[in-house]
Amino acid sequence: MTAMPVAQSSLGGRDLLSAADLSASEVQRLFDRATHLKAEFRATRRHADPLLAGRTIAMLFQRPSLRTRVTFEAGMAQLGGHAIYLTHETVLGARESVRDVARNLDRFVDAIVARTGPHQVVVELAAQAAVPVVNGLTLREHPCQALADLFTLRERFGRLAGLVLAFVGDGNNVYHSLALLGATLGVDVRLAHPEGYGPDRRIVERARELAETTGAALVFGHDPAEIVRGAHVVYTDAWTSMGQEAEAEERRDAFAPYQVDARLLETAGPEAMVMHCLPAHRGEEITSDVMDGPMSLILEQSENRLHVQKALLVELLADEAARAEPPASAGGRPEASTTPV
Ligand code: CP
Ligand code: NVA
């Protein structure tokens, strides 16, 4: 077991509602732990030390999910714990108030992962529950996605500071979390969006405040070609997010010039990588050739949801002694532990 120089954990018992809830050093620690967990899991499909034995989480999902649900559930099982998936039938606020749900669940389980429409619901859950609440996507943010995405970029480029991520499409929940986390970690996050589909101003203000310490630039425009030129990565997401289905037709018209295709990628440059949080709508925001092409990091991003969220669960829930213990590495210090965020 080789000791790793990591900051003391300060995440124990905390909520993760926004990508702005974590400092750069907290993210670095999380990424180092995720690197270790990923290496161990890939080598053996097992973890020698079940750090979450006896721990349970509840997963309150008011929207469908493949990745978020399966990675949290599988992650808890792989770490020796258990996750309970609660479908939309446990309607928050209809069958039972959010307050009552929170104050029952915190007597049963050690944390709650919630996917809701309005962001205010996860804020209220967190205010009422005595256990950590993790945002598994709201209309405002998707912090777990942004963490996995920037972890993927750190793996690929060996650094984060100075990278340029060009987001093409809607100034939505995924963009918001990427902008906040990018600002914290020194990644320039650009956005090309149609008129009327820009981000929430409060998020941009917060991201600008965070960027003051890292020098990250937030750039906006309406011309995708201009925004992607010279970017390290071109990122896109659905034109219509969950909960906006009634607007799908008008959104399809507004976003038609914002498709990520081979021509746009060529404009970005020969080294530009491609990202998408999934689920994708092939032929709409992204073409199949780009999605399945050699520059795609999309499946890495998806896999990394598992490793990064497991690291998050350990930081939030493991016994103090286990959290304070630096991630062990059978083969010596994990490579990324020396990588600056
Ligand atoms: N990217 C993501 O959150 O996927 P799911 O909606 O399938 O969870
Ligand atoms: N913006 C998309 C992300 C899905 C993971 C949505 O909210 O539906």
Q: Is 68 in the pocket of ligand 1 (CB under 6 A)?
A: yes
Statement to judge: residues 135 and 149 lie in one domain: no
Q: Is 122 left (phi over 0), alpha (psi -120 to 50) or beta?
A: alpha
User: How much distance in Å is there from the Cα of 174 to the middle of ligand 2?
Assistant: 7
Statement to judge: residues 185 and 163 lie in one domain: yes
Statement to judge: residues 43 and 187 lie in one domain: no
Atom of ligand 2 at shortest distance to CA of 244? 8
Answer whether residue 43 is part of any domain. yes
Which residue from 327, 306, 323 is spatially nearest to 12, judged by alpha carbons? 323
pTM: 0.93
Statement to judge: residues 104 and 225 lie in one domain: no
Statement to judge: residues 259 and 240 lie in one domain: yes
Statement to judge: residues 112 and 31 lie in one domain: yes
Please report, for residues 38, 143, 265, 289, the alpha-carbon distance to residue 274 in angstroms, rounded to integers and kept in the order given: 22, 19, 8, 11
Q: Is 242 in the pocket of ligand 1 (CB under 6 A)?
A: no
User: How much distance in Å is there from the Cα of 119 to the middle of ligand 1?
Assistant: 16
Q: Is 236 in the pocket of ligand 2 (CB under 6 A)?
A: no
For the chain, the farthest-separated pair of C-alpha atoms sits apart, in whole angstroms, at 57
Answer whether residue 10 is part of any domain. no
Domain encompassing residue 87: 19-141+305-323
Statement to judge: residues 133 and 184 lie in one domain: no
Answer whether residue 330 is part of any domain. no
Whose Cα sits closest to atom 6 in ligand 2?
241
In this structure, how many other beta carbons lie within 10 angstroms of the beta carbon of residue 262? 12
Statement to judge: residues 153 and 267 lie in one domain: yes
Statement to judge: residues 96 and 208 lie in one domain: no
CATH number, domain of 65, equals 3.40.50.1370
DSSP 75-109: HHHHTT-EEEEE-TTS-BTTTB-HHHHHHHHHHH-
Answer whether residue 13 is part of any domain. no
Number of domains within the chain: 2
Statement to judge: residues 295 and 175 lie in one domain: yes
Size (the chain), residues: 341
Statement to judge: residues 128 and 212 lie in one domain: no
Tens of pLDDT, residue by residue, the chain (341 residues): 233 334 455 799 999 999 999 999 999 999 999 999 999 999 999 999 999 999 999 999 999 999 999 999 999 999 999 999 997 666 677 888 999 999 999 999 999 999 999 999 999 999 999 999 999 999 999 999 999 999 999 999 999 999 999 999 999 999 999 999 999 999 999 999 999 999 999 999 999 999 999 999 999 999 999 999 999 999 999 999 999 999 999 999 999 999 999 999 999 999 999 999 999 999 999 999 999 999 999 999 999 999 999 999 999 998 776 766 655 443 333 333 334 45
Statement to judge: residues 177 and 74 lie in one domain: no
Q: Is 149 in the pocket of ligand 2 (CB under 6 A)?
A: no
